Structure 1
Amino acid sequence: MGMFSRFTDIINANLNSMLDKAEDPEKMIKLIIQEMEETLVEVRSTAAKHIAEKKTLSRQIKSIEKNIANWQDKAQTALAKEREDLAKSALVEKHKCQTQLDALMSELTELEEFLASVQNDGQNLQNKLAEAKRRQDAYLLRQQSAQVRLKVREKAAVYNIEDAINKFERYQQKIDEVEAQVEAYDMTSNQDLTSQINALEADEAIDKELAEMKKQVVNG
């Protein structure tokens, strides 16, 4: 047994309320449509069965109507021949047929009313099914729209990330250039300091050599 226990449950169902309360509306509407379609098949099968019964009843009614007319003719013929006994017997048979006809006509009336009800219910079910399918289409459109929006945002996020990376790389490049300039300056400064120190050491060596030469001259 599905979510609907009776045919009238579907007809009287408030789809909006059911879907609003559902944890998964898309799954719920799919199940509702499936059950409605199955119920519609049952309704059509029931209608086809009773239409066949109506045709059978109609044939039986026509046959009995012919019998009634036939017994009426026989009664009139017997009465014309002054056979009142036979005429009476023929009328008895006619009334039997009439009783059968009345019962069949009553059954036919009930059957026609039932078929009219089935047709009306079937139309209501078709309307409900169409309503449910419209809701399903609406959910599908919402899902597709959400997927499109998600892709756009994902692309925007990727673009923002790439842009941030590019900016960082540009900043890093600038920092590298500044650091390179500092290193070059330090390198140059170190070279100048070294040259000065080397020059002082060279001067000191010359002064020592000159002092030795003076001592030799004096002592000589």
Structure 2
Amino acid sequence: MGIFSRTRDIFAANFTELLDRAEDPARMIRMIILEMEETLVEVRASAARSIADGKEMRRAISRLDELQNSWTEKAELALSKDREDLAKAALMERQKAADMADGLRAEIAVIEETLKSYEADIAKLQGKLREARARQNAIANRIESAVTRAKARELLNGGRTEDAFSRFDILERRADFAEGRAEALGMTGPKSLEEEIAELRASEKVDAELEALKASLKSKGA
């Protein structure tokens, strides 16, 4: 009766209402699933015991039927020997076996009805269990999504993002300084007076050597 009572409570359970009242919906639904799984195991175990009892009773009925046939033969034998008293006693034993067999058949009918109830309850429990597991997955996905959104908002609105961008500013300033230094190394300042005079002297010397080279080539050609 305890199993049937628990099963009825599960069938009547309104998951949405339970979850609305729960402080921790994920924990609540895990407890509901565990309760259903335990109840389903118990119902199946009870059904298995009822099936075993039914098989044992059918074997007993078969033995009782054989016993009735045996007592019938004995009654016929007694009558053939004009022993009506023995025949009557044999028929009384046959009736006892028949009554026992009828009692077992009545018990089997009860077991069969119980098994039908078990079968219906198992099907309903499995449906409720599928529903609970589906809700568990949905809740897990919602929690995971909420955590992800919270992390994203914390990253966008928190101090960590500002620190990261401030570090980017520092790195950009360092890059600007390095580029400026490289450009400065390639720069040349205005020439001094001495440098300009030295360049003129060097240019005059080159011009003189060039004229001498021309004169030499001209004399060789003549």
Give me the CA root mean square deviation: 2.8
Shift of 1:134: 0.8
Structure 2 contact 50–115 (Cα < 8 Å) conserved: yes
Q: Deviations over 1:148-183 (max 9, x none)?
A: 3334434444797369748988xxxxxxxxxxxxxx
Q: Deviations over 1:116-153 (max 9, x none)?
A: 21222122112111111111011111122223333443
Q: Give the alignment of 1:167-182 within 5 angstroms.
A: none
Shift of 1:96: 0.8
- Secondary structure at 1:23's aligned position in 2? coil
2:97 is aligned with 1:107: no
- Secondary structure at 2:32's aligned position in 1? helix
- Which residue matches 2:194? none
TM-score normalized with structure 1 length: 0.65
The whole-number CA distance in structure 1 between the counterparts of 2:34 and 2:24 is 16
- Which residue matches 1:145? 145
- Which residue matches 1:9? 9
**Runs (5+) with no aligned partner, structure 1:** 170-220
In structure 1, what residue type is equivalent to 2:73?
D
- Which residue matches 2:98? 98
The whole-number CA distance in structure 2 between the counterparts of 1:156 and 1:140 is 24
TM-score normalized with structure 2 length: 0.65
Shift of 1:13: 1.1
The whole-number CA distance in structure 2 between the counterparts of 1:24 and 1:163 is 36
Structure 2 contact 6–39 (Cα < 8 Å) conserved: no
Q: Deviations over 1:29-52 (max 9, x none)?
A: 111111111222222222222222
The whole-number CA distance in structure 2 between the counterparts of 1:51 and 1:167 is 75
The whole-number CA distance in structure 2 between the counterparts of 1:131 and 1:160 is 42
- Which residue matches 2:117? 117
Q: Give the alignment of 1:178-217 within 5 angstroms.
A: none
In structure 2, what residue type is equivalent to 1:86?
L
- Which residue matches 1:39? 39
2:112 is aligned with 1:74: no
Instruction: Sort the Cα spacing of 1:167 and 1:89 in 2 relative to 1 into closer, same or farther, 3 A.
Output: closer
Shift of 1:93: 0.9
The whole-number CA distance in structure 2 between the counterparts of 1:166 and 1:44 is 65
Aligned length: 167
Q: Deviations over 1:59-93 (max 9, x none)?
A: 21111111112112222333344433322221111
